[in-house]
Structure 1
């Protein structure tokens, strides 16, 4: 197929299927979907099949954004049907988030893999620390969302950060809404909509950014997006996620928060250390 050796294609498919299974289990167990699980899973799997370190993180982020597309659309439509999406905010965020995503993909096209690992690692450590120290404690600082200018700034920042680390941005939206006194149901629904705004242009941007590197990329890659990775991981992770959910119900909410916090601090710390060591060496 396409001049690709069958044994190489089969090996890549099997590795990605296993990765998809673990992605679903950990997503269901720890309550974290999208790139926070997919990116590190892909990073190790692409290492197994020998993807060059100089482009490995770019391929992880781009593929993660592509995987998020169908799940974020499905989630957004479900939440919208229940009336739990803040459509006014989402409409106001369209242009700022799109601008942030474009900026993020432009930055990603010119920075090193170590720089992307550093950003992902910092986010992981900060996110994990917040879960360990605060968990679900209320962190409200104002009575409502700020004005249009500040919200545009939030949108730009969400689009930029989410596209750089390969996440849908829902976790950042949850934090913004918690700070400004909005309900968790509304933040989750709106976060799903943000995932649509981030993932589609983000995946396209990484396809374009990685086009000059096609000769160095794994089979069936479109720029910095592994098509076979996106097609295999998404359905398999959706099938295995309920297993993680069943395991999660054996633990208390705080136990899961601590588990998630430790997981992200350890994972983020590893990415931080690797990026620093790579730079030093």
Structure 2
């Protein structure tokens, strides 16, 4: 049990650092870590991915709240972007979580791995943007549609949406510190809706571990979330000091590592 507790603490510290540094909710490391830890606890195999994604979304509530609070004090959060980003991602997270309940866990795991592989390659191979791009002008309906697609993927994969929001906001034209801050803020309502839905759709499932509420295993969620509170402010400090290209390379490298660990064929 002490080894599992240490695993939850280390996962929370990594998630908090990534949340502050990159604006990720932390699900990109929380989900694979939980799959490994839950396997050690002999959780039901057929529900392993669903419990991992639901618990991840619940954990991201705590992590993203701390990051958003620290970033808002630095006035880095772009609230004008969040006005159209949040409604789409919240609705998408609801849809994605419900859809995921009817999909096999191995399919979700494979999809998660390929998302990480593609986005990681793009971050590592992309060139530095030396001149800031002007913000793109998108029709409101199209912007909300993009946000809905991001939220749907977030609900399916239990990642809070930051891993998809970051490339989108970079393409949209925001600078990296603003991208990190705005992404973190956007994951908060997305994770909230996704976690609540995970609890509801898993409510009637029998054989779930003690301490679960639907597909959310709260002992792990609280332990990881509290540990992330320590590391999130450190990540925020780093993103405002490190070179943009280095931050992108860190992001890409993490994505490729996670993709490798999650690929079923490896």
Q: What's the TM-score bracket when you normalise by the shorter of the two chains?
A: 0.7 to 0.9
Specify whether residues 110 and 135 from structure 1 end up closer, same or farther in structure 2 by C-alpha distance, changes over 3 A only: farther
Corresponding residue for residue 68 of structure 2? 76
Q: How does 1:43-58 map to 2 (within 5 A)?
A: 43-58=35-50
Equivalent residue pairs, number: 261
Largest Rg, 1 or 2: 1
Bigger mean CA deviation after superposition, 233-242 or 195-204: 233-242
Shift of 1:203: 0.4
* 1:153-164 matches, cutoff 5 A: 153-164=145-156
Listed as ranges, the gaps of 5+ residues in structure 1 are 1-10, 246-250
CA distance in 2, matches of 1:259, 1:87: 26
Give distance in 1, aligned partners of 2:243 and 2:172: 27
1:93-172 to structure 2, matched below 5 A, reads: 93-134=85-126, 136-137=128-129, 143-172=135-164
* Higher RCO structure (Cα 8 Å, ≥6 apart): 2
5 Å matches for 1:226-265?
226-239=217-230, 261-265=252-256
Work out the CA distance in 2 between the residues paired with 1:47 and 1:71.
Answer: 24
Normalized against structure 2, the TM-score is what? 0.83
Most deviating of 25-34 and 56-65? 25-34
1:216 aligns with 2:210: no
1:190/1:240 Cα in 2 relative to 1: closer, same or farther (>3 Å)? Answer: closer
Task: Provide closer, same or farther for how the CA distance between residues 178 and 256 of structure 1 changes in structure 2, counting only shifts above 3 A.
Answer: closer
Using the TM superposition, name which of 177-186 and 153-162 deviates more: 177-186
Partner SS, residue 216 of structure 1: coil
1:196-240 CA-partner distances (Å, limit 9, x unpaired): 121111100001111122x32112000100010111111224446
Whole-angstrom distance in 1 between the partners of 2:248 and 2:77: 25
Residue 269 of structure 1 is matched in structure 2 by 260
SS in 2 for 1:273: coil
Distance in structure 1 (CA, Å) of the matches to 2:66 and 2:98: 28
The corresponding residue for 2:13 is 24
For the structure 1 residues 84 and 60, does the alpha-carbon distance in structure 2 shift closer, same or farther, using more than 3 Å as the test?
A: same
Which residue does 2:239 correspond to in 1?
none
Gaps of 5+ in 2: 237-241
CA distance in 2, matches of 1:97, 1:22: 25
Distance 1:241 1:95 in 2: 25
